[in-house]
Every structure is written in C-alpha cells, then in structure tokens.
Amino acid sequence: MSEIVQIEPANWAEFLREFAARNNNRRARFDVYRRGGATEAEAREEHLEDIRLKTDGNQRSVEVIRIDRTNSTAEKTRDVITGVRGVAVQYDTDGSENVLEITDDQNTLISLHFESRVDGAS
C-alpha cells in the first residue's frame, strides 16, 4: 500500500521546487477528479520540466511545465491550477514519489501521475 503525505502550506514553495528537481524529466500525466464523481484522464504523458508555486495575495496557484518529447520541436505544456488549497505526495511501494496531488478551492483533486520506478509503466 502506498503512503500519502500532506504538505504544510508554509512548505509548498520549497517542496514543489525540490519535487520538480527530483522528478525532472520523468513522464507524467494528469488525472482530474471533480466533485460529483466526474473524472478526466490525459491520454498521453509528457516529461516534467518544472513545478512552481505562485502567490497573489491570499490566492495560490501551481504551474506545472511539461515537455512533449515525442517530436523534434519539444513543445512545452503549461498547466496552471488556481485556488490551491492542498498539496500532497503519494509514494510508490519502493518509496519513490509516484503522484503529486493538488486540491483546489472547488474540491477538485488534480493528480499528476508519474511513470512508476517500480514497474517502469505509468
């Protein structure tokens, strides 16, 4: 069973910087779980480049930058999650970081799933 650890809001910026550095270039895809049971899952993975916390007054957002390395142009995708209310990390059975969980002010859970280091598949 995997462990989920909640990150304290005061530590979000540092945690996300370090998380992005540790997981740089790992393949990742988003799954979104909305209130009421609706879910969305990305069909393809892109390689993580960076994750940043942005603060505007009391509002916090998280920007996730990934790169599509399937073609020679290596286009970047920037996803911004606004109204962030929670950040957590889920660990795989080997202790590696497997999922970054972000909850917004609408109680939407946005999960960034990483390629497994245990079995090599996402």
The domain locations on the chain are 4-114
Per-residue pLDDT band at 117 (split at 50, 70, 90) = low
- The pLDDT of residue 29 is 94
Per-residue pLDDT band at 116 (split at 50, 70, 90) = confident
In three-state secondary structure terms, 9 is helix
- The tokens describing 13, both together, are 């910026």
- The pLDDT of residue 68 is 87
CATH of 4-114, one of 2.60.40, 1.10.10, 2.70.180, 2.40.50: 2.70.180
pLDDT digits (tens, 9 = 90+) for 45-62: 899 999 999 999 989 999
Hey, what's the torsion of the CAs at 37, 2, 15, 39, to 10 degrees? -20
On whether the CB atoms of residues 62 and 44 are closer than 8 A, the answer is no
Per-residue pLDDT band at 28 (split at 50, 70, 90) = very high
- The pLDDT of residue 122 is 44
